[in-house]
A and B are shown apart, each in its own frame.
Chain A
Amino acid sequence: MADRVRILELQILAAKCRKNILRMVRSGGHGHIGGALSAIDIITALYFEKMHIDPLHPKMEDRDRFLLSAGHKCLAQYAVLAERGYFDKAVLDTYGNLGSVIPGHPDMHKLPGIEANTGSLGHGMAIACGMAMAAKMDGKAFHVYSVTGDGELPEGSNWEAAAAAAKFKLDNLTIFVDNNHLQISGDVTEVMNMEPIDKKFMDFGWAVRVIDGNNMEEILDALEALPFEKGKPNMILCKTIKAKGLSFGENNAAFHFWDASEELLCQAEQELDTYIKELERIG
């Protein structure tokens, strides 16, 4: 069981990262905010609690790897990398600028801490597999984590990777499915039903755990239990809320990509400030 104080600390950090996301959206005027906000708790826990990384040495050979298969959620990764000290937070204010190192999809050649150029959906799981295969081959201890979106799962290339991960016994690979149930066109099960996601992965030979992906305690407990089964790749099906933390946007597909107004940005920031103060008071 995760420590109560640490859970609070991570909840505060995740809230601060949510504020970082708003800061980028203010800079760019818009952004893929819905999925970034549903996945931010997972990514915060990884970078602040779980992964063996060093922000000052982002290319450290035996570092754990994290890549976003759902590259459009990159605001979440930028937010966490900035909070973790990979780069100056002033960079967040360049989002949307010509030549910014934090473009609308991540670029490994522009920003420290980015492991793959993702954006086109259905690529990340295979790339993550390749990294994990290399670790196995060389007897290295690093673990590879990736976040994929539930709306991304109809891409067939995911299932190629899912089969390969099982064949090569990649228990050093963990895929989080950010199961917020919404994509641009609406409910994922109506757009293209991939349910039951957990059973499909289990049938492919993965070890699966289902959690509330916006509950820090459940995230930490799942991370602590890795690998779930020796010789099996890990999938954590994260039940999440699209645009989590935006009182006016939660569970609303319209916030997959948000053309922000200053008024609503201020409101969201104020609500997060209030939430952070409340958490600090409890702590």
Chain B
Amino acid sequence: MIGNFVDPRKAFGSAVTELAADNQSIVVFSADSGKSSGFGDFAKKYPHRYFECGIMEQGITGMASGMATTGKIPVFCAIAPFVTARPYEMVRNDLGYMRQNVKVVGRNCGITYSDLGSTHQSLDDFGLMNLIPGMVILAPQDPVEIEEATKAMIEYQGPVYMRIGNPKIPVIFERSPFVIGKGQLLREGTDVTLISTGSTTLDAIQAAENLVKQGIAVQHIGMPTVKPLDVELVREAAGKTGKIVTVEEHYVNSGLGSLVTNAVSDMIDVVVKRLGIPEEYGKTSGDYRELVAYYHLDAAGIEESVKEFLYTV
């Protein structure tokens, strides 16, 4: 059931602003990115807790770390590659190695900045963040889940990376508490398991419905936590269906697909097909959905890839 369309950045920014009313420790860093990250209200309501630093992502990551040593909970949101790839070493050392309670949020993730090109697309953020010991990686799948994931992220003690998109996305889930590290069994089936994350879950839901109509019993897992991966759920599904197809707006290497492949690597008779972006600098298009279709990550593309996979294995 598809509900209202909501800007993911507003869902996230509003959730932080709401939480900040009761949690005085929450502070927000902006790299000339606050309003675009949904923090317009936060900046007005809590100016003494809002730090506009201009475009200095490395400096902000360090400052957020220092502030977190005193018990604050800094939230830093900007365009995804600029909070992951750009200040990577600061995230690794000052947040990861120092185990600081800082929340890094990459917006306009994946290929959602479809027309701005490879500098602004984030196709490696899962991979980069996954290499940092102890880093949690979240990719909530609808506006309601973004709000709940934001609550869970703030409650969690330690560094978290969350990625959200840019275009409005519809509500697809009933509200329920977000549990870090847990996947969701969205559909049961015995022929093949689809595992999707972030905004790809909506297309994966539609693809699964289409496939079921054609007599293919699809099991579908929504995976809004990329790390720590819900290995138990993945292995259970792998044992049941033997075939897994992962879906993500990320390089096929180093993202969810790679983590799922690792999780089942010792299981005999389990085959994994990874859908995502091949190793290239992303194509551009003024139309985001056109680009999603180009990479076969729309419902039709997923459906076609699953069928092809089933015919060949």
Contacts and interface: CB of A to CB of B under 8 A. Distances in A.
Contacts of A119: 93
Interface centre among A125, A161, A163, A167 (most CB of B within 10 A): A161
A124 B90 CA distance: 10
B51 A133 contact: yes
B85 to A, nearest CB: 15
Interface string A78-115: 00000000000000000000000000000011000001
Interface in A42-75: none
B48 A115 contact: no
Contacts of A126: 58-63, 65-66, 90, 94
Interface centre among A109, A116, A119, A120 (most CB of B within 10 A): A116
Contacts of A156: 58
B116 interface: no
Interface residues of A, number: 31
Contacts of A117: 93-94, 97-98
A120 B72 CA distance: 24
B93 A129 contact: no
A130 B98 contact: no
A244 interface: no
Contacts of B54: 163
A248 interface: no
A123 B70 contact: no
A123 to B, nearest CB: 6
A241 B68 CA distance: 35
A43 B169 CA distance: 55
Interface string B95-118: 001110000000000000000000
B106 to A, nearest CB: 19
Contacts of B48: 137
A119 B89 CA distance: 11
B49 interface: yes
Contacts of B59: 126, 129, 157, 160-161, 163-164
Nearest to B98: A117
A130 B69 contact: yes
Contact of B70 (A135, A163, A167): A135
Given A109-B99, A115-B69, A133 B94 contact: no
Dominant SS among interface residues on chain A: helix
B21 interface: no
A161 B74 CA distance: 17
B99 A123 contact: no
Given A116-B98, A163-B56, A134 B67 contact: yes
B134 to A, nearest CB: 11
B172 interface: no
A21 interface: no
Contacts of A133: 51, 63, 66-67
Interface range on chain B (Cβ under 8 Å from partner): 20 to 34
Interface string A166-194: 01100000000000000000000000000
B98 A108 contact: yes
Contacts of B53: 160, 164, 167
Given A109-B99, A133-B51, A157-B90, A123 B63 contact: no
Interface in B154-177: none
Given A117-B93, A120-B89, A135-B70, A130 B65 contact: yes
A128 interface: yes
B66 A116 contact: yes
A127 interface: yes
A120 B56 contact: no
B63 A130 contact: yes
A247 B94 CA distance: 37
Contacts of B94: 116-117, 123, 126-127
A131 interface: yes
B195 interface: no
Contact of B93 (A123, A131, A138): A123
B241 to A, nearest CB: 42
A253 B68 CA distance: 37
Interface centre among B49, B61, B62 (most CB of A within 10 A): B62
Contact of B62 (A129, A134, A138): A129
B67 A123 contact: no
B259 interface: no
Nearest to A130: B66
A172 to B, nearest CB: 12
Given A117-B98, A133-B51, A127 B70 contact: no
Given A126-B59, A144-B66, A161-B62, 14 more contacts: A109-B99, A123-B89, A126-B58, A126-B65, A127-B62, A127-B66, A130-B62, A130-B65, A130-B66, A132-B66, A137-B48, A137-B72, A160-B60, A164-B63
Interface of B: 27, 48-49, 51, 53-54, 56, 58-72, 74, 89-90, 93-94, 97-99
The 6 closest A-B pairs by CB, nearest first: A130-B66, A126-B62, A160-B59, A130-B63, A160-B56, A130-B67
30 contacts: A116-B69, A117-B94, A125-B62, A126-B58, A126-B60, A126-B61, A126-B65, A126-B66, A126-B90, A127-B62, A127-B94, A129-B63, A130-B63, A130-B64, A130-B67, A131-B66, A131-B69, A131-B70, A132-B66, A133-B67, A134-B72, A135-B70, A137-B27, A137-B48, A157-B58, A160-B59, A161-B62, A163-B54, A163-B59, A168-B51
